[in-house]
Amino acid sequence: MNPTEPTVATAQSYFLAEGPTWDPVRERVLWVDIMAGTVQSGVLGPDGTIAVEEVIQFPDTAGAVAVSAGGELIVAGRHRLYVRDAAGSITAGPALVEGEGRRFNDGKVDPAGRFLAGTIDKSGPSVVEKLLRIEEDGSATVIDDDLTLSNGLAWSSDGRRLFSVDTGSSRIFVRDYDAATGDTGPRRVFATLQDGFPDGITTDAEDHVWVAVWGGACVLRFSPTGDQVDRVEVPAPHVSSVAFAGPALDTLVITTATEELSEEDAARHPLSGRLFTLRPGVAGLPSHLWRGVAS
C-alpha cells in the first residue's frame, strides 16, 4: 500500500457504504450499506484489499453496526435496533425513532460497551435530530436533541472525551464523557469544516481525529486541539466514514458512496462507492465491543 494514496479495497461498489468497524475477535472488517439494509463482513488482506465473505440482510435500513465479544451484532435499523445472535437469528427491538422520513444513522459503542446512535431526516430541513444512548434495558437516553444530522462518533484514548458530528452545520463537537455512567459534560465546538461536510470519524493512538468529508473527496486529520494537520485525497466525492483495522490497527479503512452523485459526477469518479485502505503511519485505537443484551 502507498502510505499517501489510498488503495482500492473492494471490487464491489456500494450506494451508501458506512460505519466500518474492526472485529478484533474474529479479525474481520464489518460495514453497512445503509439503504440496502445489509452488513458486509470482509477479510483484510496484506495488500490492503478486503474480500467480502458474508452479506447479512436486515429487515429495513442498516445505519450502523457493532459487534460483541461473542459475535452478536447490533444494527441501527430505520426506527429500531436489531440484534443478530451468533447463530444468525435476528430480533427486533422496540421503536425508538419517530417520523416517516426519520431513521437511525451512524452509531458506535462507548468505552463501557453501550451503543450510541443518532438520527437523520432527509424529507426536509430539520434541526431536531437526536443523539441517543441506548441503555441496558433497551430504552434510549437523549444526549442531543438539536442536531441537523447526527453522524460520526469517537472517543479519546482515555475514554474521557466524546467527539460527535453534526453534518448539516459542518461542526464536530467534543464534550467530557464519564464511561462509568454515560454522563456527558457541556458540548463545545472542536472543529468546523469550510469545504464539504463532516461524516464518519475515528481517533488514533495519538488522540488525533480522522474525519471523512462528504462532498470533499478527502479524509482530514485534526490534532487534539482541533487544528487540521493532514489531508488524504480520495478518488470519490462522497467519503462517508473511516476506521482503523487489522491486527495492528495500522490500516485506515475508508468508505464512500454513490448516493447524491449525478450521472456526470459518477462517470467522472468511477471508483465512487468502493472501500479504500491506507497505512497512514499511525495506529488506531481498539474498537469498543458491544456488551450485548442484558440477560
pLDDT tens for each residue of 215-273:
999 999 999 999 999 999 999 999 999 999 999 999 999 999 999 999 999 999 999 99
Specify the DSSP element, H or E, that contains 64. Answer: none
**pLDDT, average across residues 89-115:** 96
> Is residue 176 annotated as a catalytic residue, yes or no?
no
Measured distance CA(94)–CA(13) in Å, rounded: 32
Among the options 199, 204, 207, 227, which is catalytic?
A: 199
For residue 46, give the nearest of 277, 284, 295, 291 by alpha carbon: 277
Beta pairing class for 65-67 and 251-257? unpaired
Query: What is the largest distance, in Å, between two alpha-carbon atoms of the chain?
Result: 52
**pLDDT, average across residues 76-81:** 97
Residue 289 falls inside a structural domain: no
Residue 290 falls inside a structural domain: no
- Give the CATH number of the domain where residue 38 resides: 2.120.10.30
Confidence grade of residue 293 (pLDDT, cut at 50, 70, 90): confident
Residues 2-60: pLDDT tens digits?
Answer: 567 899 999 999 999 999 999 999 999 999 999 999 999 999 999 999 999 999 999 99
The total number of structural domains that make up the chain: 1
Length of the chain in terms of residues written: 295
Query: Is the separation of the CB atoms in 164 and 152 below 8 Å?
Result: yes
Query: Is the separation of the CB atoms in 118 and 130 below 8 Å?
Result: yes
Q: What is the DSSP string of 223-268?
A: -TTS-EEEEEE-SSSEEEEEEEESTTS-EEEEEEE-TT--HHHHHH
Residues 128-156: pLDDT tens digits?
Answer: 899 999 998 889 999 999 999 999 999 99
The parent domain of residue 27 ranges over: 7-278
Q: Which three cell numbers stand for residue 218?
A: 478527502
Residue 215 falls inside a structural domain: yes
Measured distance CA(117)–CA(161) in Å, rounded: 17
> Beta partners for 9?
none
Query: Is the separation of the CB atoms in 76 and 107 below 8 Å?
Result: yes
Residues 181-206: pLDDT tens digits?
Answer: 999 999 999 999 999 999 999 999 99
Residue 285 falls inside a structural domain: no
Buried b (16+ CB within 10 A) or exposed e, 48-84: bbbeeeeebebebbbbbbbbbeeebbbbbbbbbbbbb
Residues 54-67: pLDDT tens digits?
Answer: 999 999 999 999 99
Residue 1 falls inside a structural domain: no
How big is the CA angle at 71 (ends 67 and 73), to the nearest 5 degrees? 45
Residue 291 falls inside a structural domain: no
